């Protein structure tokens, strides 16, 4: 009897070991998850369904939230567009490579991999569609890790903001819609391989004066934000295309999707940060300019229908994608892996403090900003010579009551942390004008490379022109 029990236990242990070995082998053999980063331009905190919008229908973004996690306190630490994208792609505060404001043309570090370079080197097919707006002219997407970059479609001349473009058949179409078609094309083409798509459309950058009525009419938004609403509806349509394409190809459960924004919404077109205040343009001193409405979805890995209130930022996306791919993150990152927080393995704030310092001397005055976030507090001043103001954004989300005098110890602690953070900065280098063209050409195709392509200089382009003309003949 005793020998029989031992035999049974040994058999059970053997079976358990075999099962564990089988699971480990299956995990090792499993294809790494696909990654899609949807980085929208100027999407306001409260302009989609998951964040409270009632007048702009976003059923596909709503579904993404239902199948994932809504990040209620995700921030952009280097607003606006150009510095936001540079810090996103590097996963580090822009001030650590000398970016203290817009500073277009400032190179991003060449000795550290971008998000695209990192995933390319881990076996991913990397693609980019839309707005790049970072680095110098030698650092277009094709030279910093992106193997397939969509060309810019020809624009309709009378459209000053360039949302109206020509498709391959010469028909005038809305740019966002065409960008969505290209997103689907990329996924279809690489359904058998792990892929990373950085989809960064011009949408929903203002103005939207030429928005098709068929888009604007789908909203119930008031006149001031009706055109913007139509632009957001179009973005939502593209999310729907993506989800349908992933499902068709059986890829939905093995695809991590992050939807976020490069900076706060534009209040001049009715962009909203409710219940907070501020945004692009006239509201850059309030928290709404720095809030990024973010949804992260990965069915079967990240819980569905969850709302996460921990303090995170767009710098975290790089580390999160690295972890999802099963790779150790580069050491230069300031961001952290969000997956343990989203899955409930860790609690609290991914970051105890977040910092801002926009003080580029020749940048627009409205974009100057010095700030710290900690717990329920936001410490703020526009210029470093100004006195600190303190707001409790839980009790006072519109930042209408300065409580700095009431809580001097909080001001002292946060100011001290900001001063310590500044020690990691480097002085802003001189922006050197580069004779090169880093952006993809106009057309309907893709620039295909190994992601380390060198842009042509003006002289190289001049010499190439006769050959190009000959090909056209």
pLDDT of residue 30: 76
For residue 19, pLDDT over 70 is answered with no
For residue 22, pLDDT over 50 is answered with no
Alpha carbon distance 276, 73 (integer Å): 11
Q: Which residue has the tokens 């990329």?
A: 186
Confidence band, pLDDT 50/70/90 cuts, at residue 210: very high
For residue 9, pLDDT over 90 is answered with no
For residue 3, pLDDT over 50 is answered with no
pLDDT of residue 439: 74
Element (H, E) at 379: strand 377-381
Of 81, 79, 110, which is closest to residue 95 (Cα–Cα)?
79
Cβ–Cβ < 8 Å for 200, 131? yes
For residue 20, pLDDT over 50 is answered with no
For residue 15, pLDDT over 80 is answered with no
For residue 218, pLDDT over 60 is answered with yes
Cα distances from 7 to residues 14, 16, 345, in angstroms, run 10, 14, 37
Enter the tokens of residue 299: 């069915």
Q: In sequence order, what E strands does 293-352 have? A: 294-297, 306-308, 312-313
Confidence band, pLDDT 50/70/90 cuts, at residue 159: low
Cα distances from 434 to residues 82, 135, 363, in angstroms, run 17, 11, 21
Alpha carbon distance 401, 396 (integer Å): 7
Mean pLDDT throughout 105-134?
A: 97
Using CA atoms of 221, 223, 224, 229 in order, give the dihedral in degrees to the nearest 10.
40
Confidence band, pLDDT 50/70/90 cuts, at residue 157: confident
pLDDT of residue 248: 98
Element (H, E) at 369: strand 369-374
For residue 28, pLDDT over 60 is answered with no
Work out the mean pLDDT of the chain and round it to a whole number: 90
Alpha carbon distance 46, 305 (integer Å): 18
pLDDT of residue 459: 54
For residue 23, pLDDT over 90 is answered with no
For residue 472, pLDDT over 70 is answered with no
Confidence band, pLDDT 50/70/90 cuts, at residue 463: low
pLDDT of residue 436: 64
Alpha carbon distance 206, 464 (integer Å): 36
The string of pLDDT tens digits covering residues 48-67 is: 999 999 999 999 999 999 99
Confidence band, pLDDT 50/70/90 cuts, at residue 473: very low
Lowest mean pLDDT among 296-305, 422-431, 460-469: 460-469
Mean pLDDT throughout 419-434?
A: 90
What is the b/e burial string over 310-341, where b = at least 16 CB atoms within 10 angstroms of the residue's CB? bbbbbbbbbbbbbbbbeeebbeebbbbbbbeb
Mean pLDDT throughout 342-357?
A: 97
Mean pLDDT throughout 343-366?
A: 96
For residue 11, pLDDT over 70 is answered with no
Question: Does the CA dihedral 438-439-444-448 come out positive or negative?
Answer: positive
Alpha carbon distance 176, 185 (integer Å): 14
pLDDT of residue 431: 82
For residue 24, pLDDT over 60 is answered with no
The string of pLDDT tens digits covering residues 224-265 is: 999 999 999 999 999 999 999 999 999 999 999 999 999 999
Alpha carbon distance 395, 378 (integer Å): 12
Whether residue 227 is preceded by a cis peptide bond, meaning omega within 30 degrees of 0, is no
Confidence band, pLDDT 50/70/90 cuts, at residue 2: very low
Mean pLDDT throughout 337-356?
A: 97
For residue 374, pLDDT over 90 is answered with yes
Cα distances from 210 to residues 162, 215, 222, 267, in angstroms, run 9, 11, 17, 18
Of 70, 66, 67, 64, which is closest to residue 292 (Cα–Cα)?
70
* 10-16 CB contacts, 8 Å cutoff, 24+ apart: none
Whether residue 275 is preceded by a cis peptide bond, meaning omega within 30 degrees of 0, is yes
For residue 465, pLDDT over 60 is answered with no
Enter the tokens of residue 395: 């009790």
């Amino acid at each position: 009897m005793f020998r029989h029990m031992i035999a049974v236990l040994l058999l059970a242990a053997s079976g358990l070991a075999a099962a564990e070995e089988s699971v480990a082998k299956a995990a090792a053999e499993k294809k790494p998850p696909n990654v899609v980063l949807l980085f929208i331009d100027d999407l306001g905190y409260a302009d989609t369904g998951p964040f409270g919008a009632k007048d702009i229908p976003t059923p596909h973004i709503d579904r993404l939230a239902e199948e994932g996690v809504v990040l209620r306190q995700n921030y952009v630490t280097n607003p606006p567009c150009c510095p936001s994208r540079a810090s996103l792609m590097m996963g580090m505060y822009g001030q650590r490579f000398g970016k203290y404001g817009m500073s277009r043309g400032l190179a991003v570090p060449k000795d550290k991999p971008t998000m695209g370079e990192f995933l390319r080197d881990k076996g991913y097919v990397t693609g980019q569609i839309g707005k790049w707006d970072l680095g110098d002219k030698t650092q277009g997407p094709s030279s910093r890790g992106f193997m397939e970059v969509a060309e810019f479609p020809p624009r309709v001349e009378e459209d000053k903001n360039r949302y109206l473009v020509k498709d391959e058949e010469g028909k005038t179409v809305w740019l966002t819609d065409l960008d969505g078609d290209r997103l689907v094309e990329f996924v279809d083409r690489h359904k058998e391989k792990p892929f990373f798509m950085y989809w960064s459309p011009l949408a929903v950058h203002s103005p939207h004066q030429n928005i098709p009525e068929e888009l604007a009419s789908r909203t119930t938004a008031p006149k001031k934000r009706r055109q913007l609403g139509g632009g957001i509806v179009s973005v939502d349509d593209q999310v729907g295309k993506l989800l349908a394409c992933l499902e068709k190809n059986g890829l939905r459960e093995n695809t991590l999707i992050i939807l976020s924004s490069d900076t706060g919404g534009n209040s001049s077109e009715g962009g909203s940060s409710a219940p907070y205040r501020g945004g692009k343009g006239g509201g850059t001193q309030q928290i709404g300019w720095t809030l990024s409405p973010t949804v992260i979805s990965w069915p079967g890995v990240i819980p569905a229908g969850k709302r996460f209130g921990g303090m995170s930022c767009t710098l975290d996306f790089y580390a999160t994608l690295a972890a999802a791919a099963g790779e150790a993150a580069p050491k230069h990152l300031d961001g952290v892996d969000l997956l343990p927080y989203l899955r409930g393995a860790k609690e609290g704030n991914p970051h105890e403090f977040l910092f801002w310092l926009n003080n580029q001397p020749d940048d627009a005055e409205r974009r100057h900003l010095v700030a710290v976030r900690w717990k329920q507090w936001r410490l703020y001043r526009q210029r470093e010579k100004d006195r600190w103001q303190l707001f409790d954004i839980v009790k006072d989300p519109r930042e209408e009551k300065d409580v700095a005098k009431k809580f001097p110890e909080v001001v002292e602690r946060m100011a001290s942390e900001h001063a310590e953070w500044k020690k990691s900065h480097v002085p802003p280098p001189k922006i050197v004008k580069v004779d090169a063209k880093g952006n993809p050409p106009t057309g309907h195709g893709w620039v295909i490379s190994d992601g380390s392509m060198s842009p042509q200089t003006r002289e190289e382009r001049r010499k190439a022109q006769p050959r190009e003309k000959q090909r056209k003949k």
